[in-house]
């Protein structure tokens, strides 16, 4: 999975767990994450505006609670106009949405690479969601449709001689069905059923730059006259990955 998407999912899950348990969030930064900050909107205090920046996930969650946050959810678009952009930083279009009694705000992330130390500095910035939809979004379990597209795109991968990708899609399917676990990294503290969806989505996310499903496979599909099938199934796979993330992180 894209590292930026992985991080925001883990932060959202940690915040949700903290709200449920009335405890500090548990978040483990990965080795390439150097600094994570959260810039809140200015708050009017008497005759001046106060700007607060939290220097950790725990400090961010604590300040949200202090402000009276009632729920925090992950939002991410399920369709992307150009899948090729997903190989670049700052293209996930994901956000952390904070629901208060009388307002809704959301945080978006900016990732900046420190080439000297080969680490990333991440700044989440809060925005006011004016005219936010009434009520909080709800997401359905998409396990059946996710299974279907994994089976179909695995067959396509075999047809176009991309057997390594076929193996990846099979691993995602095995994980989705709870047969095995292929991920060796910190995972969000979410229920087992949700975790299977999250891990499967992580494995199946093959959209990136060089060496990804966006690289050689479209040309290999073209050579066999399977351009339309490649585009249709790739779009559907990305959609089901995103739906799986929205359900697994938000609905528990």
Give the per-residue pLDDT at 182.
Answer: 67
Domain that holds residue 217: 143-250
Residue 137: inside a domain:
no
| Residue 13 and residue 75 share a domain | yes
Domain boundary among 78, 93, 128: 128
- What is the C-alpha to C-alpha distance for residues 132 and 21, in angstroms, rounded to an integer? 27
Q: Where are the alpha helices (DSSP H) in the chain?
A: 3-21, 57-66, 143-159, 163-176, 192-204, 217-223, 227-250
| Residue 244 and residue 155 share a domain | yes
96: which strand partners? 74, 107
pLDDT digits (tens, 9 = 90+) for 85-139: 898 999 999 999 999 999 999 999 999 999 999 999 999 999 999 999 888 999 9
What is the distance between the terminal CA atoms of the chain, rounded to a whole angstrom? 22
Residues 186-189: contacts with CB under 8 Å, at least 24 apart: 186/10, 186/28, 186/30, 187/10, 188/9, 188/10, 188/13, 188/14, 188/249, 189/13, 189/14, 189/17, 189/26
Domain count, the chain: 2
Residue 23: inside a domain:
yes
Give the per-residue pLDDT at 12.
Answer: 97
- What is the C-alpha to C-alpha distance for residues 240 and 252, in angstroms, rounded to an integer? 19
| Residue 175 and residue 123 share a domain | no
| Residue 50 and residue 119 share a domain | yes
| Residue 187 and residue 124 share a domain | no
Q: What would the two tokens of residue 87 be?
A: 């190989």
Residue 212: inside a domain:
yes
| Residue 220 and residue 153 share a domain | yes
| Residue 124 and residue 169 share a domain | no
| Residue 121 and residue 11 share a domain | yes
Give the per-residue pLDDT at 169.
Answer: 98
pLDDT digits (tens, 9 = 90+) for 189-201: 899 889 999 999 9
| Residue 147 and residue 124 share a domain | no
Report yes or no: 96 and 119 within 8 Å, Cβ to Cβ.
Answer: no
Residue 135: inside a domain:
no
Give the per-residue pLDDT at 22.
Answer: 86
Give the per-residue pLDDT at 180.
Answer: 73
Residue 189: inside a domain:
yes
Domain boundary among 128, 159, 193: 128
Give the per-residue pLDDT at 181.
Answer: 67
Residue 136: inside a domain:
no
Q: Where are the alpha helices (DSSP H) in 139-226?
A: 143-159, 163-176, 192-204, 217-223
Residues 58-84 have a mean pLDDT of 94
| Residue 78 and residue 19 share a domain | yes
Give the full edge-to-edge strand order of the sheet including 71-75.
Answer: 53-54, 33-39, 119-128, 104-114, 95-99, 71-75
pLDDT bin (cut points 50, 70, 90) of residue 233 is: very high
Domain boundary among 128, 156, 178: 128
pTM of the model: 0.93
Average of per-residue pLDDT values in the chain: 93
Residue 175: inside a domain:
yes
| Residue 148 and residue 54 share a domain | no
pLDDT digits (tens, 9 = 90+) for 111-124: 999 999 999 999 99
Residue 51: inside a domain:
yes
CB count within 10 Å of CB 108 equals 16
| Residue 90 and residue 10 share a domain | yes
> Does residue 8 have a pLDDT over 90?
yes
């Amino acid at each position: 999975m894209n590292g930026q998407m992985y991080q925001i999912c883990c932060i959202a899950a940690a915040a949700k767990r903290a709200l449920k348990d009335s405890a500090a969030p548990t978040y483990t930064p990965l080795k390439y994450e150097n600094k994570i900050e959260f810039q809140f909107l200015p708050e009017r205090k008497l005759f001046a505006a106060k700007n607060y920046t939290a220097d950790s996930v725990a400090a961010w969650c604590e300040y949200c609670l202090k402000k009276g946050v009632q729920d925090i959810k992950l939002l991410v678009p399920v369709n992307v106009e150009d899948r090729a952009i997903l190989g670049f930083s700052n293209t996930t279009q994901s956000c952390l949405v904070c629901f208060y009694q009388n307002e809704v705000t959301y945080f978006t992330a900016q990732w900046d690479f420190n080439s000297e130390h080969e680490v990333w500095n991440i700044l989440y910035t809060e925005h006011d969601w004016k005219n936010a939809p009434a009520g909080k979004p709800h997401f359905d379990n998409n396990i059946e449709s996710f299974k279907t597209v994994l089976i179909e795109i695995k067959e396509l991968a075999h047809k176009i001689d991309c057997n390594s990708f076929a193996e990846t899609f099979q691993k995602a399917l095995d994980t989705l069905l709870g047969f095995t676990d292929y991920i060796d990294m910190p995972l969000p503290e979410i229920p087992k059923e949700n975790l299977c969806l999250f891990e499967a989505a992580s494995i199946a996310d093959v959209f990136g730059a060089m060496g990804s499903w966006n690289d050689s496979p479209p040309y290999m599909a073209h050579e066999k006259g399977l351009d339309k099938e490649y585009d249709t199934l790739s779009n559907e796979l990305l959609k089901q990955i995103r739906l799986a993330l929205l359900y697994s992180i938000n609905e528990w």
